[in-house]
Amino acid sequence: MGTFDLNGTADGSSAMKVLGIAANGAFMSSRQSNQVQYATPKLGGFQARVAYGFSETVSGTAGDKKDFLQLAASYQTGGLTLGAAFQPKSMSTQAAVGATDNRNGYALGAKYNFGVAEASVIYTRNEKRTEGDGFGIGIAAPIGAWKVGAQFARLTNVKNADGTKSAKEGANAFELFANYSLSKRTALYAAYGSVNSKAETAFSLARDNTMAVGVIHKF
C-alpha cells in the first residue's frame, strides 16, 4: 500500500505516519515476525499476495497473540492503480485495553497518473479501535528533474478503551515536499510537515511542525 503515499512514506514529515496510519504500516504493529509471504505473478495488471505469521507467545497469557493472516491485491491499468489489504483480527487478549479493542483491519487505495500530475487517496482501518480509522489524500507533479507535492491526512473515528470518543479523533496533518533527482541513484529532498492542535496534544508532540532536508543514494 506504500505506493499510495506520493512522498515515498518519508519518516520525517509523512502526514499519515504522524497520525499512526502510515500507508506502509501494518494493522497490528510495525513489525511482523515469523512471516512468510507468497505473491502471484502479475496477470494483466493484477497481483495478489498472502502472508502468514506464526505466534511466539504462550496461549492464555496477557498480550497473547494468535497466528495472523494478511491478504492483499493490486491492479494497474494505464494511469490507474488500485490496491487493498485485509487482516483479520489476530490478538486474542490485550492486558492494557482488553479484547473489545480488536477488530478486522483493512486499507483501500487508489491513484491516478494524469501525466502532468498524479493524485492519490487511501483509507486505513487499524485493527485496534484505539488507533482508529483515517484517510490520506495527495497530489504530486513532475517538473523536469523535480517532483513536488502536498498530502493531507485525518483521523476520522477513534475510540478510547471504554468506547468513548478519543482525543485523537479529528487530528489533522499535512506535508509539502520537493524531491530533485541528480541521477538514477541519487536524489535531494526537502519536506515540511505540520499538525493541528488536536494532533499535537493527543500525540504529545513537542511542536506542531517539522522540517527535513537530505540526500538519498541507492547503492
The DSSP code sequence of 20-45 is: T--TT--SS-S---SEEEEEPPPBTT
Interval 135-176: pLDDT, tens: 999 999 999 999 999 999 999 999 988 889 999 999 999 999
Residue 182 is placed in which grid cell?
A: 541528480
Q: Is 70 in contact with 87 (CB distance < 8 Å)?
A: yes
Radius of gyration in angstroms for the set of CA atoms belonging to the chain, rounded to a whole number:
19
Confidence grade of residue 68 (pLDDT, cut at 50, 70, 90): confident
Interval 22-50: pLDDT, tens: 887 766 555 667 889 999 999 999 999 99
In angstroms, the CA 34 to CA 105 distance is: 20
List, in sequence order, every beta strand (DSSP E) within the chain: 35-39, 46-53, 68-77, 80-87, 105-113, 118-125, 133-143, 146-157, 172-181, 186-195, 209-217
- Looking at residue 96, what is its pLDDT? 46
Read off the pTM.
0.87
- Domain spanning 2-34+98-217: CATH 2.30.30: no
- Looking at residue 61, what is its pLDDT? 60
Which of the given ranges, 62-66, 117-121, 162-166, has the highest pLDDT on average?
117-121
Nearest CA to 14 out of 173, 122, 158, 168 is that of 173
With a CB cutoff of 8 Å and minimum separation 6, the contacts of 95 are 62, 63
Q: Is 201 in contact with 167 (CB distance < 8 Å)?
A: yes
Helix (H, G, I), strand (E, B) or coil at 2: helix
